[in-house]
Chains A and B, each alone.
Chain A
Amino acid sequence: QSALTQPASVSGSPGQSITLSCAGSSNDIGDHNYVSWYQQHPGKAPKLMIYDVSNRPSGVSNRFSGSKSGNTASLTIAGLQAEDEADYYCSSYTSSSTIYVFGPGTKVTVL
């Protein structure tokens, strides 16, 4: 059972903005900024989209942004496009057990 909670699915129309949430605790998301987000298309490896809460790796569209408030992290996708349809996983370091955990994932559907 994951220590992080994500909604099972989120959908939106092309051009819209959507926000994915990742709820944790004071032992993980609430304790530091080692929060990251990954995009995974079917049959592919995960791809880093956001790291350290809000940093975007080189090559990732600026339509993707991350934030954190308390024990909850969020990923916002602006100007939703068909290619954004994928599973999205959040991840956090857990200071209590010094390991990394992933959320169960959110399936994003572009209507």
Chain B
Amino acid sequence: QVQLRESGPGLVKPSQTLSLTCTVSGGSINSDNYYWTWVRQPAGKGLEWIGRIFSGVSTLYNPSLKSRVTISADTSKSQFSLQLNSVTAADTAIYYCARLRWGSGAFDFWGQGTAVTVSS
């Protein structure tokens, strides 16, 4: 059974960089069958797809965040990471990592989510 777990600071100051890591167990992030993705959810609001990484190197980002986002992977640690630059209060949200099946629209496994607040 695949498990994902997010980790990182719960508080980030405005204009700084948000950095989160997702640790995957029970599956390989090198697999050609899955994308590894980040999704966020502001309190009381809907889900927003941030981006994904495939085969440890190929990335694709939501155009609305593209200029500020970097997703990278450390396959030796079975981890992938999210960096979001120049954060504002609008970036306050619960951040989820999730697995997306290649050739499908299925986000089939999710982490439990980590809350990040942007505030001075």
Residues of A at under 8 Å CB distance from B? 2, 33-36, 38, 44-48, 51-52, 55, 57, 89, 91-93, 97-105
Q: Which 6 A-B pairs have the closest CB atoms?
A: A34-B105, A51-B106, A102-B47, A45-B110, A100-B49, A36-B105
Residue of B49, B107, B113 most packed against chain A (CB within 10 A)? B107
Chain B 44-66 near chain A by CB (<8 Å), digits 1 or 0? 01111100000000001011000
- Given A97-B63, A98-B60, A99-B60, does the pair A51, B108 have CB atoms closer than 8 Å? yes
Q: Which residues of A contact B37 (CB under 8 A)?
A: 100
Total contacts A to B, CB within 8 angstroms?
66
Q: Are B104 and A52 in contact (CB under 8 A)?
A: yes
Check: B119 CB closer than 8 A to any chain A CB: no
- State how many angstroms separate the Cβ of B79 from the closest Cβ of chain A: 18
Q: Are B62 and A89 in contact (CB under 8 A)?
A: no
